[in-house]
């Protein structure tokens, strides 16, 4: 979603801002812009790719040492040049960029219109600029405080304020913001990677703090405007190469990186057959809650099957946007797990805060180091999938699953021997590698799927959550409508949608449920469905029913999701390619969803 970069120093700010924006590109955006201080503030913005902004900048001679930049993912108002950030107040007292959503913007806008302010955009962001100007008392910090007091919602805001041409100001609530400290230069950004090529010395701004940076100084103020002592932290991160390594798209590269991602995630947690966790689950643990969004939620649903099977501890799984508002029942010894690749997803973060407020012990499973969710939870297990750039998650999904296997086995190990499971878990990366060999088969099937309007995924047991995931993956990038269903549930309504030629993908890896799956497959086949089955390598009998069978290596049934995910991801990817679409950047989607 939206990204922020700010620079104040001795270099030309323009290329620094543009390069910073490029490093935030993967988050998803639909317009971009910069504002720099020359004699006056100059704003340049453009719809679409950053390369459009760059072309526009080529025709404007700018040499400024202070500026702010933004990639916008539209929430309020169309993704066009007018709505792109930065936005200035009527008298150009302030020019600012904003991540987040101002919930009371309509009310504030009406008040400002009644005061005579004119608006040029449809954004909630412009309201912040006009509000700031209406409250301006000559002092940047006190005006920011008064502005913040009136805003409801989430925001990270970076500002250029008239009369302070060597400085950038910032404030934040519920949206990430960091300050980077350099030599004769300082930075502001929404993400550490945006400034990593310049500095590793960062200060992570807290909610309610106000920031003033100039080339040689960083000042942090508390909510009352009192300057605070602070220290920067050297982040232990290296800029990832972000090369496609010969792959046409990041998504395919990331699919093929899964053996390594799982190996790297498991390695710090298992040594000599023993599991070590960065926290000790309570002896009295009697309920586990798992919360996430999208694919992370699907990892949670898979986790429910696995944890309950291995530990007999009940697990409740929630979509974060529901958990945060449904007043969940959380008891003292419950464990609340929050799964997030980005570690910044607004609903997951709010759910984490809700669980903490209710006194729960919180564990996060996060891929991005130093992210807000990882910082705010009581314990964190990092997935080591590496930088995931494609919007649709693949390697983070597999790594998150691996963490839940380990957690379940750790709890089980208190009463039972887990040796066989550990051996099987450690063999998974190799089996994933073997499963990746189905790519050509999936490529051929994709040619057929690409012509379809609807696809159904059916499965039972631990295959069911993978149906949800396979369906999400296919629809989000290929724009083909699909549904994931528990195979036994189809005849309670959805089977009426099956007609001659409808593609049904059946996941059947649980031998104990194979007979039931065969019956469900026959039900749809007899109504004209074209059946694609995904099953274990020795289940040849499905060839008699299905039009196509994809085999995955045999493993213990609890680990099979790590293998069935592979053909599903490859199918989604190749169907998208077949349709001539970009799998890395599906329309309307963002990699990091920082608004609710
Ligand atoms: C789907 C996908 C999304 C994310 C979801 C949560 O392919 O990637 O559904 O899983 O937006 O994001 P994180 O994991 O960053 O919280």
- Kindly report the three-state secondary structure assignment for every residue of 136-193: CCCCHHHHHHHHHHHCCEEEEEEEEECCCCCCEEEEEECCCCEEEECCCCEEEECCHH
State which fold the 3-237 domain adopts. Answer: 3.60.20
Question: Residue 138 C-alpha to ligand 1 middle, in angstroms?
Answer: 43
Element (H, E) at 464: helix 463-478
Q: What is the mean pLDDT of residues 354-380?
A: 95
Tokens of 282: 């309570």
Question: Residue 62 C-alpha to ligand 1 middle, in angstroms?
Answer: 38
Write the pLDDT tens digit of every residue in 452-491.
Answer: 999 999 999 999 999 999 999 999 999 999 999 999 999 9
Tokens of 519: 């019956």
Confidence of residue 27 (pLDDT cuts 50, 70, 90): confident
Question: Are residues 374 and 364 in contact, defined by beta-carbon separation less than 8 angstroms?
Answer: yes
Question: Residue 593 C-alpha to ligand 1 middle, in angstroms?
Answer: 8
Q: Compute the distance between CA of residue 502 and CA of residue 496 in angstroms, rounded to an integer.
A: 11
Confidence of residue 148 (pLDDT cuts 50, 70, 90): very high
Question: Are residues 249 and 584 in contact, defined by beta-carbon separation less than 8 angstroms?
Answer: yes
2 is catalytic: yes
**CB neighbour list of residue 557: distance below 8 Å, 6 or more residues apart:** 461, 462, 509, 510, 511, 512
Question: Are residues 57 and 18 in contact, defined by beta-carbon separation less than 8 angstroms?
Answer: yes
Q: How many CB atoms lie within 10 A of CB 579?
A: 16
Class of CATH domain 250-578: alpha beta
* pLDDT at residue number 241: 64
Partners of 173 in beta bridges: 155
* pLDDT at residue number 245: 85
DSSP state, residue 577: H
Mutate-to-test residue for ligand 1 from 254, 303, 345, highest number of ligand atoms within 8 A of CB: 345
Residue that is written with structure tokens 């703090």 in the block: 209
- Kindly report the three-state secondary structure assignment for every residue of 62-91: CCCCEEEEEEECCCCCCCCCCCCCCEECCC
Q: Compute the distance between CA of residue 551 and CA of residue 559 in angstroms, rounded to an integer.
A: 15
Main-chain dihedrals φ then ψ at residue 256, nearest 5 degrees? -75, -10
| More confidently predicted of 531 and 191 | 531
Residue that is written with structure tokens 């620079």 in the block: 7
Write the pLDDT tens digit of every residue in 291-345.
Answer: 999 999 999 999 999 999 999 999 999 999 999 999 999 998 999 999 999 999 9
591 is catalytic: yes
- For the chain, give the percent of residues with pLDDT over 90: 88
Q: Compute the distance between CA of residue 586 and CA of residue 569 in angstroms, rounded to an integer.
A: 15
Q: How many CB atoms lie within 10 A of CB 459?
A: 28
Question: Residue 458 C-alpha to ligand 1 middle, in angstroms?
Answer: 22
Q: How, if at all, do strands 288-292 and 335-340 pair?
A: parallel
- Kindly report the three-state secondary structure assignment for every residue of 381-422: EECCCCCCCCCCCCHHHHHHHHHHHHHHHHHHHCCCCCHHHH
In the predicted model, what is the mean pLDDT of the chain?
A: 95
Main-chain dihedrals φ then ψ at residue 203, nearest 5 degrees? -120, 125
DSSP state, residue 267: T
Give the start-to-end residue ranges of the domains of the chain.
3-237, 250-578
pTM of the predicted model as reported, rounded to 2 decimal places: 0.91
Question: Are residues 75 and 2 in contact, defined by beta-carbon separation less than 8 angstroms?
Answer: no
Confidence of residue 75 (pLDDT cuts 50, 70, 90): confident
Atom of ligand 1 nearest to the CA of 294: 9
Q: Compute the distance between CA of residue 44 and CA of residue 334 in angstroms, rounded to an integer.
A: 51
* pLDDT at residue number 458: 98
Confidence of residue 594 (pLDDT cuts 50, 70, 90): confident
Q: Compute the distance between CA of residue 288 and CA of residue 167 in angstroms, rounded to an integer.
A: 48
Question: Residue 595 C-alpha to ligand 1 middle, in angstroms?
Answer: 13
Catalytic residue among 109, 173, 304, 591: 591
Tokens of 307: 């944890």
Question: Residue 401 C-alpha to ligand 1 middle, in angstroms?
Answer: 14
Q: Compute the distance between CA of residue 165 and CA of residue 41 in angstroms, rounded to an integer.
A: 9
Pocket of ligand 1 (CB under 6 A): 293-296, 340-342, 345, 348, 392-393, 472-473, 476, 593
Tell me how far apart the terminal alpha carbons of the chain are, to the nearest angstrom. Answer: 12
DSSP state, residue 378: S
Q: Compute the distance between CA of residue 503 and CA of residue 575 in angstroms, rounded to an integer.
A: 13
Q: How many CB atoms lie within 10 A of CB 416?
A: 12
Torsion over CA of 243, 372, 364 and 101, rounded to 10 degrees?
-100
- Among protein residues, the one whose CA lies closest to atom 6 of ligand 1: 293
Main-chain dihedrals φ then ψ at residue 179, nearest 5 degrees? -110, 135
Question: Residue 296 C-alpha to ligand 1 middle, in angstroms?
Answer: 6
Cis amide leading into 315 (omega within 30): no
Write the pLDDT tens digit of every residue in 264-287.
Answer: 999 999 999 999 999 999 889 999
Q: How, if at all, do strands 530-536 and 503-508 pair?
A: parallel
Question: Residue 293 C-alpha to ligand 1 middle, in angstroms?
Answer: 6
Residue 39 confidence (pLDDT) above 90:
no
Partners of 332 in beta bridges: none
Mutate-to-test residue for ligand 1 from 254, 296, 337, highest number of ligand atoms within 8 A of CB: 296
Give Cα 393 to chain centroid, integer Å: 8
> Can you list the pairs that 44-50 forms with residues at least 24 positions away whose Cβ atoms lie under 8 Å?
45/81, 45/84, 45/85, 45/86, 46/81, 46/84, 47/79, 47/80, 47/81, 47/84, 50/18, 50/21, 50/22, 50/25
Q: How many CB atoms lie within 10 A of CB 580?
A: 7
**CB neighbour list of residue 107: distance below 8 Å, 6 or more residues apart:** none
Confidence of residue 182 (pLDDT cuts 50, 70, 90): very high
Q: Compute the distance between CA of residue 389 and CA of residue 387 in angstroms, rounded to an integer.
A: 6
Tokens of 473: 């993956």
Question: Residue 591 C-alpha to ligand 1 middle, in angstroms?
Answer: 7
Residue that is written with structure tokens 């100059």 in the block: 42
Atom of ligand 1 nearest to the CA of 473: 7
Catalytic residue among 2, 202, 438, 467: 2
Q: Apex CA 484: angle with CA 479 and CA 488, to 5°? A: 155
Query: 3-state DSSP: the chain helix, strand, coil percent, rounded to 5?
Result: 40, 25, 40
Q: Compute the distance between CA of residue 303 and CA of residue 100 in angstroms, rounded to an integer.
A: 31
Residue that is written with structure tokens 């089955």 in the block: 533
Question: Residue 433 C-alpha to ligand 1 middle, in angstroms?
Answer: 24
- Among protein residues, the one whose CA lies closest to atom 3 of ligand 1: 294
Question: Residue 7 C-alpha to ligand 1 middle, in angstroms?
Answer: 30
- Among protein residues, the one whose CA lies closest to atom 10 of ligand 1: 295
Atom of ligand 1 nearest to the CA of 392: 7
């Amino acid at each position: 979603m939206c990204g922020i970069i700010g620079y104040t120093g001795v270099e030309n700010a323009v290329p620094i801002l543009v390069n910073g924006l490029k490093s935030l590109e993967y988050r998803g955006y639909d317009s971009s812009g910069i504002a720099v201080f020359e004699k006056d503030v100059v704003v340049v913005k453009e719809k679409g790719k950053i390369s459009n902004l760059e072309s526009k900048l080529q025709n404007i001679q700018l040499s400024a040492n202070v500026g702010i930049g933004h990639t916008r993912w539209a929430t309020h108002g169309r993704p066009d040049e007018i709505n792109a950030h930065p936005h200035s107040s009527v008298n150009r007292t302030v020019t600012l960029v904003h991540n987040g959503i101002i919930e009371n913007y309509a009310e504030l806008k009406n008040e400002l219109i009644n005061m005579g302010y004119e608006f040029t955009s449809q954004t909630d962001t412009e309201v912040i600029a006009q509000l700031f100007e209406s409250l301006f008392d000559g002092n940047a910090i006190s005006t920011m405080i008064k502005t913040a007091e009136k805003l409801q919602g989430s925001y990270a805001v970076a500002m250029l304020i008239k009369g302070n041409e060597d400085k950038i100001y910032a404030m934040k609530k519920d949206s990430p913001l960091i300050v980077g400290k350099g030599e004769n230069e300082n930075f502001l950004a929404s993400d550490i990677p945006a400034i990593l090529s310049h500095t590793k010395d960062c200060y992570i701004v807290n909610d309610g703090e106000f920031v003033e940076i100039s080339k040689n100084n960083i000042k942090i103020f508390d909510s009352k405007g009192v300057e605070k002592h602070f220290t920067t932290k050297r982040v232990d991160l290296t800029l990832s190469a972000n090369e496609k390594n010969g792959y046409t798209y990041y998504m395919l590269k990331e699919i093929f990186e899964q053996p390594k991602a799982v190996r790297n995630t498991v390695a710090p947690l298992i040594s000599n057959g023993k599991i070590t966790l960065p926290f000790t689950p309570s002896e009295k643990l009697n309920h586990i809650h798992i919360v996430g969004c999208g694919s992370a939620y699907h990892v949670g649903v898979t986790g429910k099957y696995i944890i309950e099977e291995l530990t007999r501890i009940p697990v409740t799984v929630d979509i974060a946007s529901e958990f945060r508002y449904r007043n969940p029942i959380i008891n003292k010894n419950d464990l609340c797990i929050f799964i997030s690749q980005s570690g910044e997803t607004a609903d997951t973060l709010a759910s984490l805060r809700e669980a903490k407020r209710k006194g729960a012990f919180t564990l996060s499973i996060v891929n991005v180091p130093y992210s807000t969710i990882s910082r705010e939870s009581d314990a964190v297990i990092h997935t080591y999938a590496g930088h995931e750039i494609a919007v649709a998650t693949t390697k983070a999904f597999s790594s998150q699953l691996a963490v839940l296997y380990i957690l379940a086995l750790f709890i089980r190990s208190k009463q039972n021997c887990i040796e066989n499971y550990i051996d099987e878990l450690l063999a998974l990366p190799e089996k994933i590698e073997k499963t990746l060999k189905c790519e050509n088969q999936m490529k051929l099937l994709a040619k057929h799927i690409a012509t379809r309007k609807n696809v159904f995924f059916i499965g039972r047991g631990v295959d069911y959550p993978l149906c949800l995931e396979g369906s999400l993956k296919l629809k989000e990038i290929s724009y083909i409508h699909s549904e994931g269903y528990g195979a036994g549930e189809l005849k309670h309504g959805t089977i009426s949608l099956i007609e001659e030629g409808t593609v049904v993908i059946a996941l059947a890896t649980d031998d104990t449920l194979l007979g039931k799956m065969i019956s469900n497959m026959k039900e749809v086949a007899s109504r004209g469905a074209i059946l694609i089955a995904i099953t274990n390598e020795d289940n040849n009998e499905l060839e008699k029913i299905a039009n196509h069978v994809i085999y995955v290596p045999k493993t213990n049934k609890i680990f099979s999701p790590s293998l069935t995910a592979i053909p599903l991801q490859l199918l989604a990817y190749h169907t998208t390619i077949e349709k001539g679409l970009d799998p890395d950047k599906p329309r309307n989607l963002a990699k990091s969803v920082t608004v609710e």
